[in-house]
Chain A
């Protein structure tokens, strides 16, 4: 059944400017600028109240199109928090016997992992654009990934995690790896 009109509105906080043109949303804030392209969706994006609110409409939408309204608003909310607070993902190096040797190179943009489970293979992971990685100072065996775009930060964390999968062993016993321990923001106020 087609629902004639379904729409949702979201508030845009102070200090953030949102521009929307032809389903491309640009968000600008204290930490920088992020863009997202919603051209694959059949929705109307509109800024109302002079830029204080974003309205998303779906005319004659099926269930899936109506569902896409709220997800697109969530994506824009993620852009806004990325541009105001930033995203900080923390990962822990977990090992039973062989200490994982992680070295950050290339001005915080690349990580090299040695001695994972005693293997000679060196694993190198490049961070995606706009993502910085560094070892946490006070906590032992912790990596911190910082960035504005949640998709890029979480994907970088996933790439690191996937590079350190254990092969040909019982994974219930061999629990080594680099795991995401915390998903948070860079600035904690507001």
Chain B
């Protein structure tokens, strides 16, 4: 079966906001307004409309009726375990690392530099050992 698209815009699709005031938030599509906009909701925000161009769809989908009450939405997100699935996915993990790197202070960056040098040194030592064994 030809599958040009794997993630569809549907009620219950979890999406990541990539532009605007809610940048970085995970939201759930609760209704589709028209061809360009969706009604979007999340446990910590007021339900509102957003353009699809400001969203990136994720693999996660939850089971909700159209425009659920806040309580139903929160319960559905708990049963589907969205938070853990997101934090364990490669996309979610990358975001956590990016956030940590952006929040480093100068001393932390110094410590990172030392750690990188130490790691590079250990790799080069192992490589030299392997090269010597190969030549022999």
Q: Does A129 contact B (CB under 8 A)?
A: no
A95 lies within 8 A of chain B by Cβ: no
- B2, B4, B35: which contacts A1 (Cβ < 8 A)? B35
A141 within 8 A of B: no
* Interface residue? B5 (CB, 8 A): yes
Would you give the 0/1 interface string for A1-31, flagging 1 where the beta carbon is closer than 8 Å to chain B?
A: 1101000000000000000000000000000
Say whether B4 contacts A44, CB under 8 Å.
yes
Once A1-B35, A4-B35 are accepted as A-B contacts, the answer to whether A59 and B5 lie under 8 Å apart by CB is yes
> Which residues of the partner chain A approach B136 to less than 8 Å between Cβ atoms?
none
Does A46 sit within 8 A of B, measured CB to CB?
yes
What is the chain B residue whose CB lies nearest that of A5?
A: B5
B37 to chain A, nearest CB (A): 14
Residues of B within 8 A of A46 (CB): 1-2
Report how many residues on chain A are interfacial, defined by Cβ distance under 8 Å. Answer: 8
Residues of B29-71 contacting chain A, CB below 8 A: 35
Q: Do the beta carbons of B2 and A44 come within 8 Å of each other? A: yes
Minimum CB–CB distance from B36 to chain A (whole Å) comes to 10
A44 to B1, alpha carbons, bound, how many Å?
A: 11
Cα(A46)–Cα(B4), bound, Å: 11
Which of B2, B5, B35 has its CB near the most chain A CB atoms (within 10 A)? B2
CB closest chain-A residue, reference B5: A59
B1 to chain A, nearest CB (A): 7
Task: Tell me the complex Cα distance, A4–B5, Å.
Answer: 12
Contacts of A57 on B, CB cut-off 8 Å?
Answer: 2, 4
A1 to B34, CA, bound (A): 12
CA distance A46 to B2 in the complex (A): 7
CA distance A1 to B36 in the complex (A): 11
- Chain B residues within 8 Å of A2, by CB: 35
A48 to B2, CA, bound (A): 9
CA distance A44 to B5 in the complex (A): 12
Q: From A20, which residue of chain B is reached at the shortest CB distance?
A: B2
Residues of A within 8 A of B35 (CB): 1-2, 4
Tell me which residues across on chain B come within 8 A of A44, comparing CB atoms: 2, 4
| Contact indicator per residue, chain A 123-148, by CB within 8 Å of chain B (1) or not (0) | 00000000000000000000000000
Q: What separation, in Å, do the CA atoms of A48 and B3 have in the docked complex? A: 13
Q: Assuming A48-B1, A59-B5, what are 8 further A-B pairs, CB within 8 angstroms? A: A1-B35, A2-B35, A4-B35, A44-B2, A44-B4, A46-B1, A46-B2, A57-B2
Interchain residue pairs with CB less than 8 A apart (12): A1-B35, A2-B35, A4-B35, A44-B2, A44-B4, A46-B1, A46-B2, A48-B1, A57-B2, A57-B4, A59-B4, A59-B5
Residues in chain A within 8 A of chain B (CB atoms):
1-2, 4, 44, 46, 48, 57, 59
